[in-house]
Chains A and B, each alone.
Chain A
Amino acid sequence: MTPEPVTPDDFARLLALPEDHPERRALAGNPAFEARLRLWREFESGAGDRLSTEAIDSAARELTRRLARGIDTGATAHATGTRPARAPGTFRWLGWFSSPPRAALAFASVIVVIAAATWVVTRQTSQPVVRSAPEHAVLEIAAPRITRDGVELQWAPVAGADAYQVTFYGRDLTEIAHSDPTADARLVLRAGQLPHGLESGREVLAEVSALHGSDAIARSAPRLVTPP
């Protein structure tokens, strides 16, 4: 009998095969495979779940927020054995400092924060405060509008941004074009005047970045758009 496909790679590979593939047929009636298959279907579809949509959405937002912190610092993706900070009230996060490299990193971070704070305080007395986007600035491209001029992309202005740049990605998510930075919270794609790399009628993903100087302070989720 075929060994139970309990590793992520094995199970993923088997499910990518057509059901009539010899390897899949050989697993028919295998309780391990059948159990995993059924559970995976329930996992994907949420069939039989007793949680309300609101409860799931709320938890998903909380989880995304926790994990986003890890992504922003790069810690989650690149450190081994690292986990992002948990919710306040659980003191398990203190364990994070138990390994020497992390303790050293924490110490260095404290020094940097103190130095930065000192620099900010001394600057504030003589220079105007620079406005920046709030930590969770929302930047979202509205549904593209077809106008007489072409296809219009619009988004709400972001506090602290002095320019916006739209980047276009192809199906394989490689960058194929970008607009010149503009102060307007909109971009019109005009037939015959498309940014270099864009093709008329070829769907692409558009992502807008809010810039302060040369720094991106907010970035939108990708939005599908078809250039005119």
Chain B
Amino acid sequence: MNEDARASWGDEPSDEALASCHQRAPGSPEGRSALARLIERWSGRAYRWAYRFTGEREQALDLAQDCMVQVIQALPRYRSQGRFSAWLFTIVHNRCLDEVRRKRPLPEPESGMDALTTPDEGPEERVDRALERDHVFAAMDRHLDENERLALWLRAYEGMSVEDITRMMQLDGASGARGLLQTARRKLRAALREEPEA
């Protein structure tokens, strides 16, 4: 168990301690109890996250169930020096992304965001593209606000639809993520024109 896990042990064991307990003896009463506690602790969050992607209770329950089953199956491989909530979140988020990608066709490549895609290419092209991508990343970091960066990232890299991004980011307004993405693209294009790659 790492020091963080020990330090956070207050009223009850930390996530990391429960995961370690389950890993040591998954079939024992203690191991099962630890697993049950982890499930109880994280099911609500998994459901909330799944709901952001589906917007509907039953679908969110099914998706959250799938997420938690993946977590349980991956638990023997969890390394206790890592932060448990971040580990679990990545599994849940990746599973939710898979689900929305499966249900909706992949978005068409974003104009001006080709640098973020990585098609099959040779070593030299890959180096060029990596440099170009770093340049785009730097421009995103300097010129876009946090919401614009996230929306653009979800669209161009995570492959989410505008509708899914609107729900995921819980954006209000008639245009939802569309307006945010248009602004982000406009700012990014202007920035890339003003700061051509060296």
Contact = CB atoms under 8 A, between A and B. Distances in A.
Given A44-B89, A173-B34, A32 B153 contact: yes
A15 B87 CA distance: 9
Contact of A30 (B9, B137, B158): B137
Interface stretch (B41-49, B101-109, B120-128, B175-183): B41-49
Main secondary structure of the interface of B (DSSP, over half): helix
Contact of B149 (A8, A11, A35, A59): A35
Interface in B1-58: 1-2, 4, 6, 9, 11-13, 17-18, 20-22, 26-27, 29-30, 32-37, 39-40, 43-49, 51, 57-58
Contact of B72 (A57, A67, A175): A67
B61 A63 contact: yes
Given A59-B57, A71-B39, A173 B30 contact: yes
Given A1-B137, A16-B83, A46-B45, A207 B39 contact: no
Contacts of A209: 29
B37 A221 contact: yes
Contacts, number: 203
B58 A6 contact: no
Contacts of A56: 44, 47-48
26 contacts: A1-B134, A8-B82, A12-B78, A13-B81, A16-B83, A31-B137, A31-B140, A32-B157, A34-B141, A38-B146, A39-B150, A40-B85, A40-B86, A40-B90, A40-B93, A60-B44, A63-B39, A63-B64, A64-B40, A74-B27, A77-B72, A171-B6, A173-B30, A205-B12, A209-B29, A221-B33
